[in-house]
Homo-oligomer: A and B are copies of this chain.
Amino acid sequence: MTTEQVSIGIDIGGTKVAGGVVSADGSILARLRRETPHRSTSPAVVEDVIVGVVEELMCGLDPDQVLAIGIGAAGFVAADRATVVFAPHLSWRDEPLRDRLGKRITKPVFIDNDANAAAWAEWRFGAARGESHLVMITLGTGIGGGLLIDGEVLRGRFGIAGEFGHMQVVPDGHRCECGNRGCWEQYASGNALVREARAMVTARSPIAMDMIARINGDASRLTGPLVTEAAKAGDRMAVELLTEIGTWLGVGIASLAAAFDPGMFVIGGGVSAAGDLLLEPARQAFSRQLTGRGYRPEASIVVAQLGNDAGLIGAADLARSSVM
């Protein structure tokens, strides 16, 4: 299909493995996707899926074309980019993933946190090109985060930086899957959107009537994409909920701006498909909440450009940059 040098990116979520062949300019030349069982899965199962995806992607390529394999994983990845310390949605605990894959894959393998990979992709090929101080926020079921300063991923002492979703924003707030209460991702994420939508639908709130008709009264059909779609079609409850989520997003961004002072926040992940329905309330809350507002330059808040491919592209390109 091509004779240029490529790298392969693998994006591992809680229930899927997505892989792609990525060129030097960030284009995806081929892609594959496999579902995986949720959470209870043994590490070996996910490992087999990864190896299968890599092998299938390499089929169409001359082996010499492939520079490296990059894995973006939804979890804590150690600073050595070899070990998954903890993955909440997978059964990996101190999993020496690079070594295990290295026995089965002949190319160099690098592991990264998926949001770090997304940050890298947006900086190299997307919304944050040229930005020296970038905070990436991926809004999916939870919140992922990545920090890029002068083209370097800020990984932290142990590799686990960027877990913004687990900063506490409400004392004694909603219980989080991480075991704490009041984590940011309980207020500004796809899960938060769905939880609140279900509560309104279940309570048969007057403002929920259009939504109830839309889902035939079955609250279990509520998903983040469905609420977003309804909001785009003008559903008032959906618009209100995205405004709430967006406001919490802006409040948290103001705290991150106080701490990091980036030039740009890039908002990615599935919920960012809501676009300005999410980002406008976020920008408003941010400008009300930023410390020193009016007396300082302010970061911009923009939507990601690479969508769901950011993790895959970033993982591939981080791996490429590590062997070049």
Identify the A interface with B (CB < 8 A): 76, 85-86, 93, 132-133, 145, 149, 154-171, 176, 178-180, 183, 251, 254-256, 258-263, 289, 291-293, 295-297, 299
Measured CB to CB, the closest approach of chain B to A160, in angstroms, equals: 4
Q: Is the interface of A mostly helix, strand, loop or mixed?
A: loop
Kindly state the separation between the CA atoms of A162 and B260 in the bound complex, as whole angstroms: 6
Q: Which of B155, B183, B251, B296 contacts A291 (CB 8 A)?
A: B183
Partner of A156, one of B86, B158, B251, B260: B260
Residue in chain B with minimal CB distance to A293: B179
Given contacts A180-B289, A299-B157, contact A259 B162 (CB under 8 A): yes
Cβ-closest chain B residue relative to A149: B154
Give A263 Cβ to nearest chain B Cβ, in Å. 4
CB of B291 within 8 A of CB of A157, answer no
Give the residue name and chain of the B residue nearest to A87 (CB): B295
Interchain residue pairs with CB less than 8 A apart (9): A85-B296, A133-B156, A154-B154, A156-B260, A159-B261, A161-B260, A163-B291, A166-B258, A167-B255
Chain B residues within 8 Å of A86, by CB: 292, 295-296
In the complex, chain B residues whose CB is within 8 Å of the CB of A259: 145, 161-164, 167, 256, 259-260
Least distance between A141 CB and chain B CB atoms (Å): 16
> Chain B CB within 10 Å — which of A157, A160, A167, A178 has the most?
A157
Q: How far, in Å, is A59 (CB) from chain B's closest CB? A: 37
CB-contact partner of A160 in B156, B165, B180, B292, under 8 A: B292
- Which residues from B are CB-within-8-Å of A293? 179
Q: Are B158 and A132 in contact (CB under 8 A)?
A: no
Q: Whole-angstrom distance between the alpha carbons of A157 and B297 in the complex? A: 9
Known: A168-B254, A178-B291, A183-B291. A157 touches B296 (CB 8 A): no
Contact A163 B85 (CB under 8 A): no
Complex Cα gap A255–B258 (Å): 13
Q: Are A168 and B251 in contact (CB under 8 A)?
A: yes
Chain B residues within 8 Å of A255, by CB: 166-168
Output the least CB separation between A83 and chain B (Å): 11
A166 proximity list for chain B (CB < 8 A): 255, 258, 291-292
Question: Chain B nearest CB: distance from A192 CB in Å?
Answer: 14
Contact for A163 among B76, B159, B292, CB less than 8 A: B292
Chain B residues with CB below 8 A from A256, complex form: 259
Given contacts A85-B296, A156-B261, 20 further A-B contacts (CB under 8 A): A76-B292, A76-B295, A85-B295, A86-B295, A145-B259, A157-B297, A160-B292, A160-B296, A161-B259, A162-B259, A163-B258, A163-B261, A163-B292, A165-B258, A166-B292, A168-B169, A179-B291, A179-B293, A183-B291, A256-B259
B289 touches A157 (CB 8 A): no
Would you list the 10 A-B pairs with minimal beta carbon distance, nearest first?
Answer: A156-B261, A166-B291, A157-B263, A133-B157, A167-B255, A86-B295, A161-B261, A163-B258, A160-B261, A166-B258
Complex CA gap A262/B147 in Å reads 14
